[in-house]
Structure 1
């Protein structure tokens, strides 16, 4: 399944950003060159959140596991361009499955482990998967039980103990090497073939699939590789789920390019995370800003752990505190790299080489989008960008004027999967992608500074939540006449979820009334509202649409008047 047009393919290949290597090719080259090097390490608490003892695989051992899974998939009838909807935690099997799919030309569509039937139903409708892959045991989840009723005509495949009778047990399944070789020979994988369909909720709440080819991923990785100064054989600690830009385009691509060791972590646990840094000695890792703030403020904790192996920590998804970026650099000698990205293909990353001043690095992103080897060719940028006034008009060229960031280039996807209307709305007539994010030019034109979001997405702990999705579900609540979800600032999570409501009757509505109703709809727990605000009416514009920004201002004014903490309720 190739989506890029011939003109674009030719242009990006001539520029050097797109080539002929797939993910499977990149891994095979590493395995051939370094068969005995440690490739992949499971989290030490794997048995607590999933199943089985943690594994440590060399490149040769991981290559054998990839071949086994690829053969099993072919034997089960999975062919080129077939979609695997995958819901797995960060375990070695997930990594191996990615590369098995890459080898046979299948497409991986990864779903967050927190998702339930509400989200999975939408995803299944969009990508129409050939198979659903999950674990039989994940702490706090019943992925098999939730998904099984949704899988009419879709094969169920599992990893883990006690697989269902009707499932293919991928933990033990074997294929035929001859049949696998025949399939690979008859179905060559083009680097422009779609390899993943990741997910973004956008602002509508309707799941949007983001198809990305092997070349899309390779092109987007350049910014991270350069900013983090990745070196051959580096050890990289990956605590982010293997479902999105940070984990795939960031850590995984750096791992592939460096032929290094990837250490997995899940779910995020500061104690386990710090222990892995001390024992596995990574050079590079990523972490949410809230965790880094907490670490720097805890002198006793910092004194008790050995972070000396770390050169770089990448962080983003929420504004970075200048004091934190400076503190890690001056107290610990660790460079904090500032990251701003999206599944669609944006990747703005600021390393020490881009901005030596840590205070400025916390808020600035370079506009250049052009990188030296091993990626860059010097002939064209991997990301072109411009700022356009939100209401339209000529691109902004002066410092200090906010505009919507629009991008194009070899790292950018071609359009949402099976969603022509959403794709048309996301791109300008001249082919630029509308990010929906407000930036301004800074430092005399060399940098961008993030200003805010054009859209109303709530970013809670680095996870995007579409308020319209929750609004829609609450439309049928028997106690609510009106409901509007919005973001509340929070020092720990970045943002939390507020709900403004107008009751149907005279009585107040409790938080439990709302969350119990949404739990019954099988909505993911992290999307549940955390604080309620009662109003007599919600502000609307002339077309009758609730004005979310005004609702939020009303709620913040009420908080200021009553002076309670804006966080901590509800979960």
Structure 2
């Protein structure tokens, strides 16, 4: 399936920005060079996650497992361009499914484990998947039952389960002739310009948006991330995030394939397990949220109990970093890379190589792709960036003036899934993606952008984007409220938490527990449920009757402080 215009594909491939090859071609190179070396390692506590013993696969074993899994899918009727919806924890099965889709020309649409019927029904309606692949159960929830309910509703969608007795997809794959995959691959070559994934992102809209990304996007992503963050040949990578977005797939899985090294998986995030994996597997590169890095520096006794001397770099983002944090880790011999990015392909990196000064690295990002700039970075070669006044569309070239960051080039997605209106709104008249994030050219050094804040209304809780509009829409049916609206409030550990402002109906005294129960009845993911509640006489609205969320946030914080 091709969604990126053919002329753009030709242009970027002619420039050398895209290689025009599939992710499977990258995988096969890694297999050829890696052989019997370790490639993929399960969480050592996997048996507590889904009842399976942890696995450790060499590159050769991984290659055979991908062939067999692909063959099992083909035997069940998979064809090129079919969409596979996956809800899987971060184990070897999730990675193998990603690679099997890349090999067969299928399209993987991964979703987060906390998603429930509310989120999944919408996504199923959008992509009409051929298969939904999940586990029997996880964290006490019956994922297999939910998948079968969705399949009954959809009709043509089939359910495949990892860990469902005799119907176990893993067991079926082990018995399937891998020659079926080889025959299919020969007859169905995959081009770099074809879609590989549809990931889901939240913004100001009330529903998540599907973000298709081609093989070309992902192959380039590996180059940009490895070059921009400090990951290097020979690194052992630890991936603490599930394979559902660019942070995990682009931030670790694709660099792992490019470097042909070892990838260690982790899920759900558990600090003790995370540190022990670094020690046991001699991890040298990983990613972690700022709150975790801060907590570890403030509790040195935790680090004293483990040996993390193999670690040289940690990438972090989703919330502002502090110079204290970066300097504190540097004193331990570990560099922190400051990362700004999105599923749409936005990406800026402040690493030890590009921004050695600790204070600057915490506050600034190199102006990769900006006119008149010169950086020795892959991201700079393949992208363009500029700041624009979001009200007047005037381009900003002077320091100290805030503007929306606009990005173009080979890393940026082509369109939202079956959403032409959203796609049109996402790009400006120069074809640059409107990030919705405010930056300014640094007055101290014009080579850098300084992050100001988000102009979009998304809540970022623990690195996960949450649309307040989606929660607002759900709460319109809350019987104890005349109206309700959601905002993000600052939190030292998670970056932001969800607060809801409720105007109660006459005589009602709604509690936070009432709101949570209302959303739980509608199978809304747990992480989207509010953690604070304030009662108000009315909500602030503009002349167009739209919630003025910045003003509401200030009012909520004021009431919480009383």
- Measured after TM superposition, the shift of residue 371 of structure 1 is 7.2
Would the aligned equivalents of 1:70 and 1:175 in 2 still touch at CA under 8 Å? no
Distance in 2 between residues matched to 1:203 and 1:87, nearest whole Å = 24
Look up the match of 1:197: 198
Are positions 1:160 and 2:163 aligned together? yes
Q: Which runs of 5+ in 2 are unaligned?
A: none
Look up the match of 1:275: 276
Distance in 2 between residues matched to 1:495 and 1:429, nearest whole Å = 33
Would the aligned equivalents of 1:51 and 1:137 in 2 still touch at CA under 8 Å? no
Are positions 1:294 and 2:281 aligned together? no
Would the aligned equivalents of 1:88 and 1:112 in 2 still touch at CA under 8 Å? yes
Q: How many residues end up aligned between the 2 structures?
A: 553
Would the aligned equivalents of 2:440 and 2:449 in 1 still touch at CA under 8 Å? yes
Q: Deviations over 1:197-227 (max 9, x none)?
A: 0010211121211000111112233332113
Would the aligned equivalents of 2:238 and 2:286 in 1 still touch at CA under 8 Å? yes
- Measured after TM superposition, the shift of residue 191 of structure 1 is 1.0
- Measured after TM superposition, the shift of residue 305 of structure 1 is 1.5
TM-score by length of 2: 0.96
Would the aligned equivalents of 2:23 and 2:218 in 1 still touch at CA under 8 Å? no
Look up the match of 1:454: 455
Would the aligned equivalents of 1:219 and 1:382 in 2 still touch at CA under 8 Å? no
Q: Deviations over 1:254-307 (max 9, x none)?
A: 111111000000000000000011110111010011100000000211221211
Are positions 1:324 and 2:312 aligned together? no
Look up the match of 1:517: 518
Would the aligned equivalents of 1:137 and 1:161 in 2 still touch at CA under 8 Å? no
Would the aligned equivalents of 1:86 and 1:111 in 2 still touch at CA under 8 Å? yes
Q: Deviations over 1:129-166 (max 9, x none)?
A: 01000011312322112222111220101111436xxx
Matched position secondary structure for 1:445: coil
Matched position secondary structure for 2:226: helix
- Measured after TM superposition, the shift of residue 233 of structure 1 is 2.7
Q: Deviations over 1:432-488 (max 9, x none)?
A: 111111111114321111111111111111111101111111101111001010011
Would the aligned equivalents of 1:156 and 1:168 in 2 still touch at CA under 8 Å? no
- Measured after TM superposition, the shift of residue 542 of structure 1 is 1.1
Look up the match of 2:252: 251
1:320-359 residue pairs with structure 2 within 5 A? Answer: 320-330=321-331, 332-359=332-359
Provide closer, same or farther for how the CA distance between residues 189 and 371 of structure 1 changes in structure 2, counting only shifts above 3 A.
farther
Look up the match of 2:20: 20
1:398-413 residue pairs with structure 2 within 5 A? Answer: 398-413=398-413
- Measured after TM superposition, the shift of residue 168 of structure 1 is 6.7
Matched position secondary structure for 1:27: helix
Distance in 1 between residues matched to 2:142 and 2:428, nearest whole Å = 42
TM-score by length of 1: 0.94
Matched position secondary structure for 2:396: coil
Look up the match of 1:496: 497
1:3-402 residue pairs with structure 2 within 5 A? Answer: 3-151=3-151, 152-162=155-165, 169-173=169-173, 174-330=175-331, 332-369=332-369, 381-402=381-402
- Measured after TM superposition, the shift of residue 20 of structure 1 is 2.9
Provide closer, same or farther for how the CA distance between residues 372 and 321 of structure 1 changes in structure 2, counting only shifts above 3 A.
closer
Look up the match of 1:565: none
Distance in 1 between residues matched to 2:406 and 2:472, nearest whole Å = 28
Matched position secondary structure for 2:395: coil
- Measured after TM superposition, the shift of residue 179 of structure 1 is 3.1
Distance in 1 between residues matched to 2:375 and 2:58, nearest whole Å = 31
Distance in 2 between residues matched to 1:51 and 1:385, nearest whole Å = 47
- Measured after TM superposition, the shift of residue 313 of structure 1 is 0.4
Runs of 4+ in structure 1 off by over 6 angstroms are none
- Measured after TM superposition, the shift of residue 67 of structure 1 is 0.5
- Measured after TM superposition, the shift of residue 372 of structure 1 is 5.7
Coordinate RMSD, CA, aligned: 1.6
Would the aligned equivalents of 1:83 and 1:108 in 2 still touch at CA under 8 Å? yes
- Measured after TM superposition, the shift of residue 507 of structure 1 is 3.2
Matched position secondary structure for 2:161: strand
- Measured after TM superposition, the shift of residue 21 of structure 1 is 2.1
- Measured after TM superposition, the shift of residue 178 of structure 1 is 3.9
Distance in 1 between residues matched to 2:216 and 2:169, nearest whole Å = 31
Would the aligned equivalents of 2:348 and 2:368 in 1 still touch at CA under 8 Å? no
